[in-house]
């Protein structure tokens, strides 16, 4: 039976799918939202061309529809990520569960006489979703629906009923059971939600303080090795812990919905643009400190401290890690190269990023949205006015210098065996480069003790996550031949192998090999 910690990790990973969809959609919203602003058209008159302008506005509308239904995305993503028996049924049940939830809350509000007038419903914590006025529980509603659907799928997908009701047995029973559960929850939530909101609002006192970014940015780095950073981020991005903001009489809960309204609809000329530094200090600019400044500094420190005969190999590895983070916002490969070798150094790194985030906040830097790539910096930093991007560059460069010298000194002082400082040169990832996933899968299975020793295979953005019968059967010498860039045991009989952004193809190959 999996431990409680492992279940929490799996839940955190289930948020990756909706977040992965939000990221490119957010990019489209960012580009279209910026390019239809009057100040941008004044700078680039071609954007005022009727065809181009209508196209951009249409794309913004389409992308905006996705964001208007974020809870539904979370419902499907969580159901897919948590279910083990039949992911298709789980996703189907999650959609029904979410619909029943919002309708049940709406009915409860109506019957209890708490349904607010549409003109002031946002101030009363209510919202209109899919044409239904209901309680505004944001992404939490979708997450709840998805979790219930996943649980019901695994428990009742093979339910047997008397012959008279046999048609409703098995997989059909899952959705019916979910609907019944969500009716009960939907009726009860309006009475208890206010207490939950009060608790999160209390937590927001810490997040929204002057040094709040230290905890959010540093905390994110500390949670990454455990796979819980997505859960941590969702707390203040989508709930009252990130604050509530009133824009044109409408209340927005959490950082992401509020920022979306200001970035993509209000624009820099709006009176609400002054809120941006308060919002962006929790968002992408924290990640940009890592990908644009800290990572090159860490990579350079590792290269400089590597043994002479290993420098060529380390150079290629470090360039790959930095470029992957800079262009793809994937940070695990580099972070995993030292987090388990020296947790203290990793904690120092988290504190550096936290302090950098505080400095950005104090300088009123307002470079916003979710991802921390160079493209996001250009779109949300350089193209938008009033972002104070120059301060971001200055602070980032200072952080980069500090990070380099601290890492170089720490590695040499305590003889940390970072890449290139091992007695034996690390395994290369030639098999990954040549996309020989089938060969990698055979090596992985052999190194893990054979098919009979593998209970379950999963993956996140960069890691294979495998449950084992007996971890003592693992042969790391064999596994090295597969070209992983990191290996660790976060708990008994559970192993992580880091392969980078192409890990999904490795996982598919392992699944195929296990079926033979």
Neighbours of 26 (CB within 10 A): 28
Contact 463, 339 (CB under 8 A): no
The pLDDT value given to residue 304: 94
pLDDT per residue as tens digits for the range 22-58: 667 766 776 787 788 776 787 788 988 999 999 998 9
Joined together, the tokens standing for residue 222 give: 């500390």
Joined together, the tokens standing for residue 351 give: 């504190």
Q: Helix H segments across 372-463?
A: 374-377, 389-413, 430-433, 437-447
Query: Which residues make Cβ contacts (< 8 Å) with residue 132, sequence separation at least 6?
Result: 102, 103, 106
Joined together, the tokens standing for residue 42 give: 């004044």
Q: Which residues of the chain have pLDDT under 70?
A: 1-16, 19-20, 22-23, 26-27, 30, 39, 120, 122-125, 194, 196-205, 226-228, 230-231, 309, 328, 422-429, 460-462, 501
The region that residue 247 occupies, defined by phi over 0 for left and psi between -120 and 50 for alpha, beta otherwise, is beta
Contact 465, 444 (CB under 8 A): no
Q: 3-state secondary structure string, 14-32?
A: HCHHHHHHHHHHHHHHHHH
Distances in Å between the Cα of 90 and the Cα atoms of 29, 49, 152, 460 are 30, 46, 8, 19
Distances in Å between the Cα of 349 and the Cα atoms of 10, 231, 297, 339 are 25, 21, 11, 10
Cα–Cα distance for residue pair 205/212, rounded to 1 Å: 8
In the chain, residues under CATH classification 3.30.1360.60 are: 430-515
Q: What is the DSSP letter of 336?
A: T
Contact 71, 129 (CB under 8 A): yes
Contact 255, 301 (CB under 8 A): no
The pLDDT value given to residue 132: 87
162 class by beta-carbon count within 10 Å (0-12 exposed, 13-18 middle, 19+ buried): exposed
The pLDDT value given to residue 424: 43
Cα–Cα distance for residue pair 467/450, rounded to 1 Å: 13
Q: Helix H segments across 311-381?
A: 311-328, 332-335, 343-362, 374-377
Tracing tokens 């400190």 back to the chain, one arrives at 289
CA atoms within 13 A on the CB side of 484: 23
Cα–Cα distance for residue pair 373/53, rounded to 1 Å: 26
Neighbours of 470 (CB within 10 A): 12
CA atoms within 13 A on the CB side of 285: 34
**Local structure of 465: helix, strand or coil:** strand
Joined together, the tokens standing for residue 273 give: 């643009």
CATH code, 430-515: 3.30.1360.60
The pLDDT value given to residue 461: 59
């Amino acid at each position: 039976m999996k431990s409680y910690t492992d279940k929490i990790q799996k839940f955190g990973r289930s948020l990756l799918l909706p977040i992965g969809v939000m990221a490119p959609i957010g990019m489209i919203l960012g580009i279209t939202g910026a390019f239809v602003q009057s100040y941008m058209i004044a700078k680039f008159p071609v954007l005022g061309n009727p065809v181009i302008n209508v196209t951009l506005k249409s794309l913004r509308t389409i992308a905006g529809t996705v964001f208007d239904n974020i809870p539904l995305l979370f419902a499907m993503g969580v159901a897919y990520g948590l279910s083990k028996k039949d992911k298709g049924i789980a996703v189907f049940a999650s959609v029904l569960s979410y619909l029943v939830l919002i309708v049940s809350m709406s009915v409860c509000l109506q019957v209890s006489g708490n349904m607010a007038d549409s003109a002031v419903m946002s101030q009363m914590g209510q919202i209109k979703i899919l044409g239904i006025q209901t309680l505004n529980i944001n992404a939490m509603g979708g997450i709840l629906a998805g979790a219930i659907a996943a649980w019901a799928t695994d428990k009742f997908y093979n339910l047997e009923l008397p012959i008279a009701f046999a048609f409703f047995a098995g997989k059909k029973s899952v959705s019916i059971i979910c609907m019944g559960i969500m009716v009960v929850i939907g009726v009860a939530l309006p009475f208890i939600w206010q207490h939950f909101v009060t608790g999160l609002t209390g937590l927001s006192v810490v997040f929204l303080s002057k040094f709040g970014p230290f905890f959010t940015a540093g905390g994110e780095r500390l949670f990454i090795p455990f796979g819980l950073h997505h859960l941590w981020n969702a707390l203040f991005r989508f709930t009252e812990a990130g604050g509530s903001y009133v824009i044109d009489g409408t209340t927005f809960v959490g950082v992401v919905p509020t920022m979306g309204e200001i970035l993509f609809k209000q624009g820099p000329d709006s009176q609400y643009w002054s809120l941006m530094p308060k919002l962006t200090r929790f968002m992408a600019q924290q990640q940009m400190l890592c990908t644009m400044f800290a990572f090159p500094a860490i990579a350079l420190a590792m290269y400089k401290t590597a043994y002479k005969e290993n420098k060529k190999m380390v150079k290629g590895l470090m360039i790959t890690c930095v470029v992957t983070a800079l262009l793809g916002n994937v940070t695990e490969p580099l972070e995993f190269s030292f987090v388990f070798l020296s947790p203290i150094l990793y904690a120092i790194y988290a504190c550096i990023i936290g302090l950098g985030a505080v400095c950005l906040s104090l300088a009123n830097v307002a470079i916003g949205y979710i991802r921390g790539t160079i493209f996001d910096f250009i779109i949300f930093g350089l193209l938008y006015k009033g972002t104070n991007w120059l301060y971001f560059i200055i602070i980032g460069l200072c952080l980069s210098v500090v990070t380099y010298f601290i890492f170089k000194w720490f590695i040499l002082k305590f003889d940390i065996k970072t890449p290139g400082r091992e007695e034996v040169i690390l395994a290369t990832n030639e098999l990954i480069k040549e996309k020989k996933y089938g060969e990698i899968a055979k090596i992985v299975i052999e190194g893990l003790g054979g098919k009979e020793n593998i209970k379950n295979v999963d993956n996140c953005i960069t890691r294979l996550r495998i449950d084992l019968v007996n971890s003592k059967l693992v042969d790391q010498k064999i596994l090295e031949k597969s070209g992983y860039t990191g290996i660790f045991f976060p708990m008994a009989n559970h192993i992580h192998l880091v392969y980078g952004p192409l890990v999904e193809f490795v996982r598919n190959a392992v699944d195929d090999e296990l079926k033979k």
